[in-house]
Structure 1
């Protein structure tokens, strides 16, 4: 009886190790034989066709006071998830800066990013900044203009034609601040300055 009791005492010392070994081997077997709960993530191809379409639409933006600061409208539009952009036919834009300067723009086609930070005007692009304060009216024409609404800027890496009052300029690239009316022209720049007429 004493020998049996000594054997039980010795086994009780190793019992936790034996139980842990059995549990570990059982867990290993379970993981190996059970199907994967989560299938490995694969990069699904991004949808190439439009996920929604618009017709005769208008999208307006307002500031915290309720004043409308921007309106983008068009005849038709299609949104492409692959490029995260909205392609717009016959795009028209109205924008008003914090200082009250207003601008209108239009083109045959427009491409607006989902976050609204860039709108590209393509095909017979035209923009006009209306007179404001001491700033004269400025008209911009080109085949491609890029509007950056958050920065109140219009930029172009293509040739542009600019009319400021009666003065006319042409340049290969342009960076125009629609808030201040200032613009930077680069490349081959030409200008025709007309004499000021007396009021």
Structure 2
């Protein structure tokens, strides 16, 4: 009797519902649209530029809700007016662009904000950079080079939080930092 009940339950769970085309066809990893030579711009409610995403080719994949971009270039401006630039040969983003993976000559530049000196500029280069836009975090499990207004550092991997202004460099870390001039007594 238990086997009959289990078989009935299994049949109910696995029988397709009439008119349910999603159950009949499995999603394949194929783009539902492609854009070439595109530019996507978003603005704040007051009309200020928030972000601009440009690229050679963009494809959206509905099965994973991901976007792939070839020849990606991006520019973002935060509430304080600080500009962040990025570029790479390829980018892979989730649907809401909160996680972006840049690969192939990846480069992210955080320009100094209003009232900050040139030493506040930060540039990160590597073959792979993973950006988390909501938490302003950059990670890489591959070697990276960081350039600041005060010098240059190289590391085997990186985990950097811009909100906390803390970077964790791992692996073989080398660098050159310029001394800051001291005020005369």
| Greater strand share, structure number | 2
Corresponding residue for residue 66 of structure 1:
47
Which protein has the larger Cα radius of gyration, Structure 1 or Structure 2? Answer: 1
SS of the residue 2:63 aligns to: coil
1:4-43 residue pairs with structure 2 within 5 A?
38-39=17-18, 42=23
Structure 1, unmatched stretches of 5+, are 1-37
Counterpart secondary structure, 2:59:
strand
Q: Could you tell me how far apart the structure 1 residues matched to 2:144 and 2:174 are?
A: 11
CA distance in 2, matches of 1:111, 1:127: 15
Q: Which runs of 5+ in 2 are unaligned?
A: 1-16
Structure 1 stretch displaced more, 152-161 or 120-129:
152-161
The 1-side partners of 2:141 and 2:147 are apart by 18
* Structure 2 Cα separation of the partners of residues 191 and 182 of structure 1: 17
Q: Over aligned residue pairs, what C-alpha RMSD do you find?
A: 2.7
Whether 1:142 and 2:126 are equivalent positions in the alignment is: yes
**In structure 2, do the counterparts of structure 1 residues 64 and 182 end up closer, same or farther at CA, with 3 Å as the change threshold?**
farther
- The number of residues matched between the two structures is 164
In structure 2, the residue matched to 1:21 is none
Q: Determine if the alignment matches structure 1 residue 118 to structure 2 residue 102.
A: no
Pairing 1:39-188 to 2, within 5 Å after superposition:
39=18, 42=23, 44-132=25-113, 133-134=116-117, 136-178=120-162, 182-188=166-172
Q: Distance in 2 between matches of 1:96 and 1:179?
A: 15
